Every structure is written in structure tokens, then in C-alpha cells.
Structure 1
Amino acid sequence: MNERVEVADNPAAGTSPSWRRHPKLDQWIAFWIVPGFFTLFGIVFVPLSFMMPPRSPGSSTPEIVGFMQSHNLLIACAILTLSFGLAPITNACYVMQVKRMSVSPVFRYTIIVGATTGAIVGMLFPMFCFGLGAFRTGYDPPILAMLFDFGYLAYIGSLGCFCIMWMAFGLAILLDRNNILPKWLGYYTVWQYLTELMAAPVWIATSGPFAWDGLMTFWFAMALYVPWQIIVYLCIYRAIKNQPVHELENAQFVVASSLPATRPTAHA
């Protein structure tokens, strides 16, 4: 015996505001969360906690203790705890466009795993190191110095995670035959992630251009990364705007008007 359920259309479904019926509404909500997250991220790391630009690896013990025991540092870590969960939304916006490309799924899986690993090492670890140092007064200076080193080495020295992630992103753009994103962005992305390899010497150099606050390791990398991130964001905006509605993977919304409208019919 087979059973079939018929669902009646709901006339009230078309009375919702037009903006709620926009087929890309959910994607645009995710997209506009991105600048809000990066703005909050910048406020936490720069004017609130002064974690960035990075302090010198050669800072004196009193300087390290004063920084690590700052109340602003503790507040910054608390805000970061509440907001770093927005980071996956940023990467999801990129992955959705990579999914439209004529490339293997391995590229988007690499982006997802690389972003997850990078967020843990490059954001979660520093947050706990700096927050732990500011949580309780009375820690011995050597312990604070160790947390200081751990926090900055995790933040600056973990760029290898992002190298693999952005390598997959750049190659996906270059190999894509659907032209979802411009080819020049793929070349720019490859060049940008290659500069992040310069983070490796921070584990060796404590001064000079390859220290974690050095000219090459930090400032040159930031000079390329920040414009690149803005450009990627604008290109993703155009990709979402130009995406045909028939390519959307939104689930179809079906509502029954009332219980009596659902009538099982039996077939022998």
C-alpha cells in the first residue's frame, strides 16, 4: 500500500514583504556580516588592546608585564570570544562562489579546512594567551613573557595555514572555466599568499626585518594583504550580484494552509 500526501498552497505566503522574498536575501545577509566582523576585529586588535601593530620581541620585562596585565587587553579578549564565530561566515561567502566554479571539490574543502585551522591557531590561541595573562594579577614575569611570545608567535607565525587555504582559492580561480571571478584576482591571490611564507623566520629572528614586527614579515605582508582583502570582497560582491537565480541552492519553502488540506490517498 502506497501513501501520497498532497500539500495545499498557502495564499498568505505571497503577502510577505518583497525584501523577504528576495532569492539572495540569505546570501546578502552573510555577505554584509563580513565588513562588520573585520571592523570589530580591527577595533579589538588595534585601538582597544594595542596588540597590533605587534610589539617588539625585544620588549623589556616591565613593558611585557604592563601590556599583559592591561584591563583593556582582557576586555578585548572577551569581545573577541563573542565575535570570532563570525569568521566562518566570511569564508562561507568565498566557498559558495568556489562551489560554482568548474573545479574539483577538493579546492573548497581545502579552503574550509585551512580556514578552520588558521582560525584556531591564528585567532583562538592568541586570544587565550593574552587573555590568560590579563586574567589574574600576580603572575610571575617569566610566565607572562612566555604567554607574550606564544600569543605573537601563534598570531604572526601561523600564516602557513592560510597559505594552503589561499593557494586553493587562487588556483581555483585560475583553473575555473566558468569565469566566476576574474583571472587577475587568481594571480594576485597567488602572489599574496607567497608573501605569507615570510612568516616562517619569526620562529628564528628576534630582531630585524624578519622578526614578528619586522619590515618584511609584518609590514610588507600587511601592505599586500589589506588591499587584496578589500579587492576580494568587492569581487565576491559582483559574483553574488551576477549569479543567476537558477544556480541558487536555496531549499524550496512549502507551507500547508491547514491540516484538513493534507489528505492521504490510498492505492492498492
Structure 2
Amino acid sequence: MQTIAEPEPTPAATTVTAQRIGLWLLPGFGAVLLIAFLAFPGFFPPMSPELTADQVADFYRQHTAMIRFSMITYNLCGIMLIPFFTVIVVQMKRMATPSQVLAYSYLAAVVTGATLFAIADIFWLVAAFRAERDPQLVQLLNDLAWLTFTAPVGMLVAEGVCLALAIYLDRQPRPIFPRWVAHFSLIVALAMTPSACSVIFRSGPLAWNGVVSFWLRIVAFGLYLAVMFFVVRAAVARQAAEQGAAR
């Protein structure tokens, strides 16, 4: 009877190299996404939920080209942040926790967030696809885009909580991530939570264009990416050093 050979384990050096590639995709594609963010005319200032249907339709007619440029860029490049988040998952799986359920939960939350981001992007593109249609329909698509982009923060909160719990439960003498990263992750999750109320308010700080629902959420997420880049880079570098010393 013929036996099936077991697959050879992936070399440790290859594992670290793949993580470094995923890590450095963040600043590269993050810069591209920042350009797309600055190019979208509806973000500076953010469009108001109180605009009339005619005003919304007029906005899409006037800015069709830039809307398409920014949203197509999001569509192509937004998903390229996923490798960075999966590097975080790989590092979470190295933690001495009772199980790896928190790492897989973090990954599920990341995938959910990427899906909702893509849906919001498509709603903006569909609104610009036929800007000459009934203004009421353009307004509906605009509402769907903004609320899908702003309100669903449960997955972001889940990411922060899962990462924090994994760090708190890591019982290694030298944890993968410093303990302060857990505190930071929870603070970011807390800062994003009020955005869920953007489905209720049409004005004020909790509306989708408000200082809390829009700007605090955007700044908190950007700060999270920046801080985690350096934290993860240090963890991957330490893993490479440990594997080199073990050989």
C-alpha cells in the first residue's frame, strides 16, 4: 500500500520573510489610500446628512470623475491592508494563551470590516454611475454609502477587545506584544464605539459627518495602524532573532 508523504514544514526564515512583506505593504498601500481619501470631494468637509436630494444629486454630477477615481482606488487597494492584519494574527497565535480562538476571532472581524468597506465603496460608485437619475435614488445610495462606511463599528471594537484579551492572557516571561498595547487597543475601540449612533442623528457630533462619528473614528483608526506597524515590526524582528539563535 502506497503511503502519502507528509508535507515538509515551512522554513522559519520563509515565515518571517512573508510576515515582513505583509508588514511593509501597510505603508505603501496606506499612502495610496490616503491619496484616495484626500481626493474624494465628499470628505472635506464631510457631506452633511441634512443635504436635500437635489443637493446630493448635484454633488455627484459635479464631482463624478473624482468620486470614481477615489472609490476605484479604494476598491483596488483597500484589500491590500489585509496582509498586515494577518501578520498580527500570526503573532497572536504565538502568544501563550489557553487557545487560539482570539486570534481567529480577530481575523474574522478584519474580514468583516474589509467586506463592509468594499460595500460602502460600491454604493458611492453606483451613485456616481448614473448621477442623472432621480435625485431621491441618488440620495438613497449616498445614505447607504455613508451609513455603511460610518456606522458598522462592531467589528473594529471586536478587533480591539480580542487583541487586548490575547495580550492580557499571554503568560510568556516576555510577551509577544507589550502590555500597554492592550490598553491602547481598548482605548481605540472605545473611541470608535460612538460611531454606531450615526444611524440616528442627522446633525451634531454623532452624525455621520460629526467630529465623533467621522473624525474621531478616522483619526483613531489611523493612529491604530501607525502604532501597530511599529509594534508588529518589533515582534517580527524579535521572532527572526530568536529563530536565528535557535539554529
What TM-score, normalized to structure 2?
A: 0.85
Unaligned runs of 5+ in 2: 6-12
Matches of 1:85 and 1:218, distance apart in 2 = 21
* Structure 2 match to 1:84: 78
Q: Secondary structure at the match of 2:207?
A: coil
* Structure 2 match to 1:157: 151
Q: Secondary structure at the match of 1:50?
A: coil
In the alignment of these two chains, the number of paired residues is 231
**Which letter does structure 2 place at the counterpart of 1:50?**
P
Change (3 A) 1:114 1:137: same
Matches of 2:226 and 2:3, distance apart in 1 = 54
* Structure 2 match to 1:65: 57
Matches of 1:116 and 1:2, distance apart in 2 = 40
1:181 aligns with 2:191: no
Q: CA deviation at 1:238?
A: 0.5
Q: CA deviation at 1:120?
A: 1.0
Give CA-to-partner distance per residue, 1:63-110, whole Å, 9 cap, x none: 312333321111222222222331321211111111111122111111
**Equivalent residues in 2 for 1:183-202 (5 A)?**
183-202=179-198
Following TM superposition, the consecutive aligned residue runs of length 4 or more in structure 1 with deviations greater than 6 angstroms are: 1-5
2:43 pairs with one of 19, 41, 52:
52
Rg comparison, structure with higher value: 1
Q: CA deviation at 1:174?
A: 1.7
**Which letter does structure 2 place at the counterpart of 1:36?**
G
1:107 aligns with 2:98: no
Q: Percent identity?
A: 24
Matches of 2:47 and 2:3, distance apart in 1 = 69
Does 1 or 2 have the higher relative contact order (CA < 8 Å, sep 6+)?
Answer: 1
Q: CA deviation at 1:35?
A: 1.1
Unaligned runs of 5+ in 1: 6-20, 249-268
* Structure 2 match to 1:251: none
Give the structure with the larger helix fraction: 2
Matches of 2:168 and 2:4, distance apart in 1 = 48
2:235 pairs with one of 236, 239, 243:
239
1:116 aligns with 2:111: yes
* Maintained 8 Å contact 2:127/2:141: yes
* Structure 2 match to 1:134: 128
What TM-score, normalized to structure 1?
A: 0.78
Mean CA deviation greater in 108-117 or 169-178: 169-178
* Maintained 8 Å contact 1:23/1:245: no
